[in-house]
Every structure is written in C-alpha cells, then in structure tokens.
Chain A
Amino acid sequence: MILAVASGKGGTGKTTVSVNLARQLGSGVQLLDCDVEEPNTNLFLDCTEPEEEIFGIPVPCVDEALCDGCGECGRFCQFHAIVSFGTKPVIFPEMCHGCGGCMAVCPKRAISEVSQRMGLIETSRSGNITLIQGRLDIGVSMAPPLIRAVKARLQDGMPAILDAPPGTSCPVIATLRGTDMVVLVTEPTPFGLHDLKLAVDMVRELRIPFGVVVNRMGIGDDRVYAFCGKEGIPILLEIPYDRRIAEICSRGELIVDALPEYSSLFATLLWNIKELRGMERRASYVRSAN
C-alpha cells in the first residue's frame, strides 16, 4: 500500500505524522520525502550516509548547421522554452518541461536533448525505514519532474509513505497521483479548516480514499470536527497540543521513541488506516459487483 500524507496548510505536522508512522510500522517501509523544495525528513532519523544520484530533465540543444529557422519548435512549445523567429532558436532551459515535443516536430532533425540538472535524489536507511528524498537545486522552480523521479524509485511489495509538500498545487498532485490512500493533516483552527477544505476538494477530484488527522488538539475551535462530521470524513487520529511534543520535534526526535506515553497514538493511526483501507476495498468490491 502507498499512503500519502498531505495537508492544505503548511506546518500542520505532515512530516511528524509520516516519520512516526513509518517507525511505528516496525517492518520494512519506504519513506519518500516529496517536499523536494525543502526536504527535512532526514532531520528526524539517524540515517546512513545517503547515496546521491543527480537528476536532470532533457532540454533541447539545436545544431545551428541543420536549423533553417522555420520556427516549428517555438510554435509547438506552450511553455515558451524555445523561441524562434527565422533565426537560431533561443532556448530557456529553466522554462522547459522536458516533453521532447520540439525535437519531435523539427523537420530538419536539428534538435537533440541534453540533460539539465534539477537536483538530487538521496537514498539512505534508518532501521526499518528506507528514506528516499528529492532535493531540488536552488533556483530551480519546477518540482513535479523530480517528485516523479523520487516516486519512480518505489519498490513493489514494500509499503510506502509519501510525505507531500503543503498546498494543493502541481507538486502535491504529482505526489498524490497513484497512491492508495491519503491522510490529510490539519489543525483545529479557522486557517487549518480553510485549507483542509481545499485539500478535501483536491483529493476527491483525484478519487483517492482519505481520512483526517487533527494535530494540536485543544487549540482553536470545533469547526474542523463539524466539517468532517457533515462531510462524512473519518478522523483517524487526534494529536494533543502538548509542549513536550513540540520540544522533541524541535530536537529532531520521534514521538514514538521519546514519549512512550504517546506511542499508542501512532499504533491507533495505523489501525485506523488499515480499517479504512479494508472498508474502501469492500466498498469498491460491492461497486464492481453491482
């Protein structure tokens, strides 16, 4: 099973939930930090030295001797990464999405591809956890290709937890696509609720089963609960608002290791996720039987 941990609002506790859940699982699990603009999951784990792999996307390179300046490449490119006015095309590698379209439409076959570095994929281990992190280079703005590359490292047959970036934009969609279930982490505040609603709309659009984890239980108000009740969204766990949790997180430690009194939280979450997964499977069986 591939589980994604997402949120609308940033700073709700996605990484805290992901990393503690991975440790709680006990058996072999893949943990993917898909927040490639600022990966931080490694800070919570004593990891082996990471194996680094350079990731790049193919961008066009024009052979001037072959190019007759027809401009087909520029007309094709929707991202304005290649522009031509009867002259040698001007290329903006930072705008290129690596689709290869310009190369395909070039009548003179003057375009080849070169790799443009975007970032690193780091793989390391910590006990039962295999951590795969994407790390976008500074100044690179396109996260989805690197996120897809991180996900392509997933091995079949071993469960995976994907720590998503915050928000509801392309990097999050790239993370959530193809996952079996999503946990949306929120906090019971007006801001948390506002962004939770956006995240719920997104996950429903993607048709992925999901539940909610309420973090910092005890602050704010009860509107998150009212919303989930009205929408029939299961609340999988509540994490109390407790200074000790904040302290161990800021030290880069795990709740399940450092606070034994709270270790049952993540056992409960694991149980509820399995229950929800079972219910979804039965429901989908009934749907297909009908």
Chain B
Amino acid sequence: MKIAFSTSGETLEAPLDSRFGRAPKFILYDLERDYFEVIDNRQNLNTSQGAGIQSAETIARSGVGCIVTGHCGPKAFRVLSAAGIAVYNCGEATVADALKAFREGTLKTMDSADVEGHWI
C-alpha cells in the first residue's frame, strides 16, 4: 500500500505540514518497496476556495490508500471518504517520524473533519 504525507519538503526529514488542503507537496510512500515519490500541490496555495477539494482529488488520483496529515477540513474529508481513503491525524514533526508512528500503529484514523474550512 502507498500512503501520502502532507509536507513542505522533498525528503523524509522534511516537516509534516499540518495543513492538508494547502500543503505545498505530498510524499507518497510505498510501504512494500520502501520507496517514495514527491508530488507537487502548489497549484492550490493561491486558490481562494476549494483547495481542500483539489488536494483531495490529487490524492485520490495518486492511488494511495491513506493520507497522514495534521488537520483535514470538511470538504476535503468528504472527497477522501468518497474515494475510500483513510485520513490519519498526526502531530509528529517530520515525515520520517510520522511514517514510524504509522508503522507502529499509534496513529488514529479520523471519522470526520477536525477543523473548519480556512482554519489557518
């Protein structure tokens, strides 16, 4: 399975971005092959509305099974749910730490959006 992490960098040492909709990049990590790729999400940084929806579409099309991020708003959550993608809430500082927590099974899935849209 591949999992996505919201981030502002391009390595596993990069910080985990607490924003889902307006995260500059996503790291897609393949758990079976221990390999990752980076996809750009900058198109969303300047949209006034619908950033969460677009990010969720990007994630859904990337073929991942779940997303690990800080917070997720209501519109993004609806799209991710419809696409059958689990959302894991995580407070870890870096992508590597978040990946470790995921592997250890300490992360919890969210069953609803945990912030309002435009929360930051």
B83 & A80 in contact (Cβ 8 Å cutoff): no
How many residues on chain A are close to B (CB under 8 Å)?
11
A79 at the interface (CB under 8 A from B): yes
Residues of A within 8 A of B54 (CB): 80
A34 at the interface (CB under 8 A from B): no
How would residues 34 to 55 of chain A score, 1 for a CB under 8 Å from any chain B CB and 0 otherwise? 0000000000000000000000
CB proximity of B51 to chain A, nearest CB, Å: 9
**Interface size band for B:** 10 to 19
CB proximity of A139 to chain B, nearest CB, Å: 11
Known: A80-B54, A83-B57. A90 touches B49 (CB 8 A): no
Residues of B within 8 A of A141 (CB): 49
A92 at the interface (CB under 8 A from B): yes
Residues of B within 8 A of A83 (CB): 53, 56-57, 79, 82
Closest-by-CB residue of A relative to B48 is A141
Q: Which residues of chain A (26-84) have a CB below 8 Å from chain B?
A: 74, 79-80, 83
Contact among A85, A92, A95 with B83 in the assembled complex (CB-CB below 8 Å)? A85
Q: Determine chain B's interface SS by DSSP, over half rule.
A: helix
Query: Please, how many angstroms separate the alpha-carbon atoms of A90 and B85 in the complex?
Result: 14
Query: Please, how many angstroms separate the alpha-carbon atoms of A141 and B60 in the complex?
Result: 27
Contact among A79, A80, A85, A95 with B82 in the assembled complex (CB-CB below 8 Å)? A85
A87 & B57 in contact (Cβ 8 Å cutoff): no
A85 & B61 in contact (Cβ 8 Å cutoff): yes
Closest-by-CB residue of B relative to A84 is B82
B53 & A95 in contact (Cβ 8 Å cutoff): yes
Residues of A within 8 A of B91 (CB): none
Known: A83-B53, A95-B53. A90 touches B61 (CB 8 A): no
How would residues 70 to 101 of chain B score, 1 for a CB under 8 Å from any chain A CB and 0 otherwise? 00000100110011000000000000000000
CB proximity of A110 to chain B, nearest CB, Å: 16
B60 & A92 in contact (Cβ 8 Å cutoff): no
Residues of B within 8 A of A95 (CB): 49-50, 53, 75
Residues of B within 8 A of A85 (CB): 57, 60-61, 82-83
Query: Please, how many angstroms separate the alpha-carbon atoms of A229 and B8 in the complex?
Result: 50
B50 & A79 in contact (Cβ 8 Å cutoff): yes
Residues of B within 8 A of A80 (CB): 50, 53-54, 57
A87 & B53 in contact (Cβ 8 Å cutoff): no
Task: Output the residue of B50, B56, B83 with the most chain A CB within 10 A.
Answer: B50
Residues of A within 8 A of B53 (CB): 80, 83, 92, 95
Closest-by-CB residue of A relative to B57 is A83
B50 & A87 in contact (Cβ 8 Å cutoff): no
Nearest 3 interchain pairs by C-beta: A80-B53, A80-B50, A90-B82
Could you give 11 example pairs across A and B, Cβ below 8 Å? Answer: A79-B50, A80-B54, A80-B57, A83-B57, A83-B82, A85-B83, A87-B82, A87-B83, A90-B82, A92-B75, A95-B49
Q: Contact residues of B with A, CB < 8 Å?
A: 49-50, 53-54, 56-57, 60-61, 75, 78-79, 82-83
